[in-house]
Structure 1
Amino acid sequence: MSLQAAGRRSLVDDAIDQLRSQLTAGTWPIGARIPSESVIAERLRVGRNTVREAIRVLVHAGMLESRQGDGTYVRSTTDPGDLVRRIEHADLRDIFEMRRALDVEAARLAAHRRTADDLGRIRAALVRRAAADGSADTPEPHDFDRGEPAEGELDDLVEQDVAFHTAIALASHNSAMVATYRWFSDSLWRAIRTVLDDGTLPDASHALHVALADAIEAGDPDAAERAVREILEPAVVALDALLYDPTESDSGRSHSTEHDA
């Protein structure tokens, strides 16, 4: 694959696209230094400022790394934008399975590593979640089918639920997990809201969230994992049933998603 002269759509955009293509194709392996700005500018037939801006964008995206006085090096050959698009188009079951994996590990680590400050943050988030959940005083989940929810009620509950689980991720003291959880929050927010807004899918009771906080405070990772699974498993099972296709062969599952849409 060779670099081609940039078109007129947008010189910077074209330069970004071509450099990204070179990176994802493996033309320059991870750790390699890419050609100088002047060399790339000559091949693309654009100015060095255009190349510099394109490189800046790809550095920000995490694909390149600029080292002052030494050049620009390949940091990743994976386009994070493609990953974002795939997650945005993932179906609900995929989102909840991913959420379960993240929440289980975050809860187990939090039970081992939580500090007094972490517990305070988790308990405060739990109080806010209770205030947003009209069924917090009962063992039953919030049933939004019982009448029309007040304006903003559903959004508030989803926001406080995500904040509670994010507080647990913070208590894991795993920076990669915290970054992933925060980045995943938008898809997670939409998934939780869809579940709550759909009367065919179960929500978890606030009592189970209290049990999760208690297990973390007690330093019991097994109990914390059980609580997470009790919170999320009913929705995963329900989604699995909704996607079940009895006409399919051995797998009996429809594995089609919106990924390739």
Structure 2
Amino acid sequence: MLQKPNRQTLVEQVALQMESLIESGNWGVGMRIPAEPELMKELNISRNTLREAIRALIHSGLLKTKQGDGTYVCSSSALGAAMKRRILRSDTLQTLEVRHALEREGAHLAAQRRTSGEVRELLVQLERCEEAAKSSDIDRFVTEDIHLHQIIIKASHNEILIEIYSHIAEALQDSITSLTRYEAGANFLEIHRQLVEAIVDQDADRAVEAVHCYIQESKEVIIKEQEEQP
């Protein structure tokens, strides 16, 4: 015989529904979620139940509240939020080592599996990166650079790798800012062009070598900066 769910179970059910809306993209990152009265009416729940569910999602890193403005989506998944917290506790060298592992395998697979449509997408995105660098728009360059790597990972056609990297990329938005002045330089961009060209040519070894080059150069910059610090 079915039993009436207790209050805690109802809170969990509401939180899961809201989490599903976030993960499906119906509530995108940066979006303000509907106001309390609207959610209470739609879900047929009390204000206290709704607020407990929202608090649970804030604690998991999916939502954040802006005083006097509302509640906003700040991560596309609980895993993404957890990865962001973990990356923020790590130093930049460790983050680069993780990027190296994922981007190296992504480039290797992309060179073998990319489609003609993905080739066009990669070439257009590379131009966007170069345009952002020329304009000295650091925020735009970070966004375009991350998007370029996401396209490469997508071209790997490995669903698990794509999902893991999407969560990593979300967290990288803040962590790679310290490298942007260097990464927007001509040499770094040339290595990225070599990477894209290797994938276009379906040369997996050359693609892997390009990833190794830009990660290694980034590491050297970080180490040098650390040595110069008092």
Asked if TM exceeds 0.5, the reply is yes
Alpha-carbon offset, residue 97 of structure 1:
1.0
List aligned pairs for 1:46-125, cutoff 5 A. Answer: 48-54=6-12, 57=15, 60=19, 80=79, 82-125=82-125
The answer as to 2:194 corresponding to 1:236 is no
**Alpha carbons of 1:231 and 1:117: their partners in 2 closer, same or farther (altered >3 Å)?**
same
Distance 1:97 1:202 in 2: 20
How far apart, in 1, do the equivalents of 2:84 and 2:131 lie? 32
Partner SS, residue 219 of structure 1: coil
CA distance in 2 between counterparts of 1:161 and 1:83 reads 19
Deviation at 1:186, TM superposition (A): 2.9
> How far does the alpha carbon of each residue in 1:88-110 deviate from its partner, in whole angstroms, 9 at most, with x for none?
22111111111111110100000
Report the structure, 1 or 2, having the larger helix content: 2
Mapped contact 1:130–1:206 kept (Cα < 8 A): yes
Equivalent position amino acid for 1:196 in 2:
T
The reply to whether residue 226 of structure 1 matches residue 184 of structure 2 is: no
- 1:182 aligns to what? 166
Q: Could you tell me how far 1:191 is from its partner in structure 2? A: 2.6
Is the contact made by 1:99 and 1:188 (CA closer than 8 Å) also made in structure 2? no
Q: Give 1:162's match in structure 2, choosing from 146, 166, 178.
A: 146
* Equivalent-residue separation in structure 2 for 1:202 and 1:98 (angstroms): 21
Query: How far off its partner does 1:238 sit?
Result: 3.3
Work out the CA distance in 2 between the residues paired with 1:242 and 1:131: 27
Q: CA 1:90–1:213 in structure 2 vs 1: closer, same or farther (change >3 Å)?
A: same
- Counting matched residue pairs gives 167
Select which of 163, 167, 180 maps to 1:196: 180
1:83: how far off? 4.6
**CA–CA distance in 1 between the matches of 2:89 and 2:151?**
26
State the one-letter code of the partner of 2:114.
R
Cα contact 1:202–1:234 (8 A) shared by 2: no
Tell me the CA shift for residue 242 of structure 1. Answer: 5.0
SS in 2 for 1:133: helix
Look up the equivalent residue of 1:182 and give its one-letter code: S
Match of 1:216 in 2: 199
Q: How large is the Cα RMSD of the aligned pairs? A: 3.0
User: Residues of 2 paired with 1:83 and 1:159: CA distance?
Assistant: 18
TM-score (norm 2): 0.63
The CA distance in 2 between the partners of 1:226 and 1:191, in whole Å, is 24
Change (3 A) 1:116 1:85: same
Q: Higher Cα Rg: structure 1 or 2?
A: 1
Change (3 A) 1:101 1:56: farther
What 5-or-longer segments of structure 1 have no aligned partner? 1-36, 42-46, 62-78, 136-148, 245-261
Change (3 A) 1:238 1:190: same
